[in-house]
């Protein structure tokens, strides 16, 4: 058992009777250390029931959904649930003005109506193996890790990787199986799935039906297979029974999923950097993006659909960062970090360990001083290239085709195949792209990007730029990638000489200059300083575990499978404020504002809610439950994770944290950190009663009637 797990176990033995939030995200193979604590809180399963490599267990029903979310299996026929916002890009992809699934919802009433999704995948964990000792004692750690992966995956359909945990203090082999035929089955209207919009995002009380339904298909042997109409529904090793029984405050809950990244071991100077530099910079760039996107979406139905997915992606982290800064300030995060660092030094001295730990904090801070400019440059790059004007990635995708057009060593047949591939992808891109809106995004962001960079990080293509608006106008007037009809014509004619001339296209020149600057000036320094920082932080965390044996120190989340547990619980984050842990249909109707972009509802839903026909899904008070909060420690990537009761039954789908909790990636506070889940009874009512897709509920194993 890892040292930090032993430290935590000792702490839990002392505090099993407390009903506070449970900080930490557990590696499933180490659940034996907290099995007793979970059982004392209401778990009626064993650690082996949750994670087993020999028998079907809860982990076999948990899915890494497209790399950024979690999903869960809910039937023997491949049906899975995740968040509406996790399936949002697929719902948007299938939406048109004539068939607006974002606005109207989508329900496949037969298997033949289920919609395939390019590039969507669902990944299952096969096993997690502690290989720390093998990596630590190997003469060549990289070669040993490659050998470990081969040992567990060769001759199978598995993929594998050795992943560092706790800044490299431990390493685990993780093997996975990936399915690429994942089809859209059901999605409520966005008035349900995004009810409350940006106004309610990261806010409690919440009344959002944040769910969507997909199905995994496999080959005839139940193994992964590329999309084919001949594929059949996947048969999982385990699926969650769906519990529609009563829920009460204090009930035990688990959230099982793939949390993204936490940063709980930042030193005090890094907290200052987040508050004074990093978050304000990121918020400023997204303020500029959202001003353009929101104006465009309000201008026409077509743009409302085209930019729905982009708006959702930009706005989510924007509001989180605002709440994170607020929470860190309110909780005195800087003072807490400084106090911990002072105590660390004092204990190191008292224990006679100054030779080991006496300079580690100062060493981290020295590296941070060099690291921060690279971190800021990286984030400005991310905001421009991945959340800014779409012409950049679009043009970059044509780079190989353009370069090969002028390369005489590339045969006509090879180049023709490359052109056909690009031609096939263009229309999908153009469905969610408007050159005028994109030009406005470029004008809004390019100055913030260039002017905020250190001089040595500014791309050559932007040196001397003094008028971002004029720069954008000139680029979009001259670039073929801002002229859809002209690009279609180019793709149709196949003249290699004309294609080779596009090497001077201003959009391609810009993105290649931005990329060159990032990969030559920013990324090497970022990577080098990040490695130095991780090495020092590994030493720091070992010191914390040794010098503070009475405290719990958890490994940061790193997008691997974790389990967190707690209770259904409300909170009182501010003086005079008490949040109850449940919401019902009454709040939906109370928030309903006809015509409001965040709180409007379709009339058939209003009428259904007013009719109060809840079928089998009412709570003990005769109301329709909608959402609930728990004291589970979650973060990004936990979106779509199953919320599970003590019997291993699905009771909800995790989708958010309260705004008062958004600082929990850096500083967890048990009195106010709450995760938000949509109640499974609301999911089933919308699917069954409102949408008339009861055949999907019939597939599920429904308990607690």
The catalytic site residues sit at 85, 210, 639
In which element (H, E) is residue 524 found?
helix 523-547
How far, in Å, CA of 415 to CA of 400, rounded?
Answer: 10
Report phi then psi at 559, rounded to 5.
70, 15
205: preceding bond cis by omega (within 30 degrees): yes
Sequential DSSP letters for 231-257: -EE---S--PPEE-S---TT-EEEEEE
Residues 6+ positions from 101 with CB-CB distance below 8 Å: 91, 94, 95, 187
Residue 37's contacts (CB-CB under 8 Å, 6 or more residues apart) are 12, 16
Q: How many whole angstroms separate alpha carbon 538 and alpha carbon 194?
A: 40
How far is 484 from 426, CA to CA, in rounded Å? 9
Distance CA(543)–CA(344), nearest Å, equals 8
Report the alpha-carbon angle 410-415-419, nearest 5: 160
Q: Which of 654, 534, 557 is nearest to 255 (CA)?
A: 654
DSSP for 422-486 reads HHHHHHHHHTT--HHHHHHHHHHHHHHHHHHS-GGGS-GGGTT---HHHHHHHHHHH-GGG-HHH
User: Which residue from 652, 634, 661 is spatially nearest to 704, judged by alpha carbons?
Assistant: 652
Give the span between the Cα atoms of 211 and 119, in whole angstroms.
20
């Amino acid at each position: 058992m890892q040292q930090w797990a032993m430290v935590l176990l000792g702490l839990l033995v002392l505090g099993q009777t407390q009903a506070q939030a449970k900080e930490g995200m557990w590696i499933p193979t180490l659940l034996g250390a907290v099995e007793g604590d979970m059982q004392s809180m209401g778990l009626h399963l064993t650690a082996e029931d949750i994670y087993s490599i020999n028998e079907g267990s809860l982990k076999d029903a948990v899915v890494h959904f497209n790399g950024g979310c979690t999903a869960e299996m809910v039937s023997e026929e491949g049906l899975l649930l995740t968040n509406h916002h996790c399936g949002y890009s697929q719902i948007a992809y299938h939406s048109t003005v004539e068939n607006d699934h974002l606005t109207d919802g989508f329900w496949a009433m037969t298997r033949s109506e289920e919609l395939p999704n390019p590039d969507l995948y669902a990944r299952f964990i096969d096993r997690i193996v502690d290989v720390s000792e093998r990596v630590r004692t190997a003469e060549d750690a990289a070669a040993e890790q490659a050998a470990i992966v081969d040992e567990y995956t060769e001759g199978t359909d598995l993929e594998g990787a050795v992943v560092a945990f706790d800044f490299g203090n431990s390493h685990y082999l993780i093997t996975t199986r990936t399915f690429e035929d994942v089809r859209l089955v059901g999605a409520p209207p966005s008035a349900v799935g995004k009810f409350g919009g940006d106004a309610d995002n990261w806010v409690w009380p919440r009344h959002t039906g944040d769910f969507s339904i997909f199905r995994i298909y496999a080959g005839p042997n139940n193994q992964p297979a590329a999309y084919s109409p001949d594929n059949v529904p996947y048969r999982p090793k385990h699926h969650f029974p769906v519990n529609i029984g009563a829920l009460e405050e204090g009930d035990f809950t688990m959230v099982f999923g793939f949390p993204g990244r936490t940063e709980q071991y930042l030193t005090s100077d890094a907290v200052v950097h987040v508050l004074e530099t990093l978050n304000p910079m990121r918020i400023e760039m997204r303020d500029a993006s959202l001003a353009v996107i929101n104006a465009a979406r309000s201008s026409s139905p077509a743009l409302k659909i085209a930019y729905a997915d982009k708006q959702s992606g930009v706005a989510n982290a924007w509001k989180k960062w605002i709440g994170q800064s607020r929470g860190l300030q309110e909780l005195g995060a800087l003072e807490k970090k400084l106090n911990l660092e002072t105590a660390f030094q004092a204990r190191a001295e008292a224990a006679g360990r100054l030779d080991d730990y006496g300079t580690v904090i100062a060493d981290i801070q020295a590296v941070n001083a060099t690291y921060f400019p690279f971190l800021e440059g990286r984030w400005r790059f991310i905001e421009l290239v991945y959340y800014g004007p779409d012409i950049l990635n679009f043009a970059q995708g044509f780079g190989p085709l353009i370069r090969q057009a002028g390369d005489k060593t590339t045969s006509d047949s090879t180049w023709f195949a490359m052109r056909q591939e690009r031609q096939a992808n263009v229309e999908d891109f153009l469905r969610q792209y408007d050159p005028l809106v994109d030009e406005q995004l470029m004008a809004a962001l390019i100055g913030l990007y260039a002017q905020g960079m250190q001089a040595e990080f500014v791309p050559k293509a932007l040196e001397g730029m003094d008028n971002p608006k004029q720069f954008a106008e000139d680029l979009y007037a001259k670039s073929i990638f801002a002229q859809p009809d002209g690009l279609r014509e180019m793709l149709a004619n196949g003249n290699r000489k004309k294609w080779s001339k596009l090497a001077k296209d201003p959009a391609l020149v810009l993105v290649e200059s931005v990329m060159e600057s990032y990969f030559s000036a920013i990324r090497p320094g970022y990577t080098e300083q990040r490695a130095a920082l991780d090495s020092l932080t590994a030493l720091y965390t070992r010191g914390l575990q040794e010098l503070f044996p009475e405290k719990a120190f958890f490994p940061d989340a790193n997008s691997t499978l974790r389990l967190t547990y707690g209770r259904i619980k409300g909170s009182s984050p501010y003086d005079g404020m008490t949040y109850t842990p449940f919401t019902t249909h009454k709040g939906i109707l109370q928030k309903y504002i006809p015509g409001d972009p965040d709180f409007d509802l379709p009339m058939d839903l209003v009428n259904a809610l007013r009719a109060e026909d809840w079928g089998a899904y009412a709570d003990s008070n005769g109301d329709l439950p909608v959402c609930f909060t728990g004291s589970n420690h979650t973060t990004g990537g936990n979106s779509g994770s199953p919320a599970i009761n003590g019997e291993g039954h699905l009771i909800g789908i995790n989708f958010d944290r309260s705004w008062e909790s958004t600082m929990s990636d850096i500083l967890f506070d048990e009195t106010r950190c709450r995760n938000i889940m949509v109640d499974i009874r609301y999911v089933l009512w919308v699917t069954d009663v409102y949408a008339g897709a009861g055949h999907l509920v019939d597939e599920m194993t429904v308990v607690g009637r």
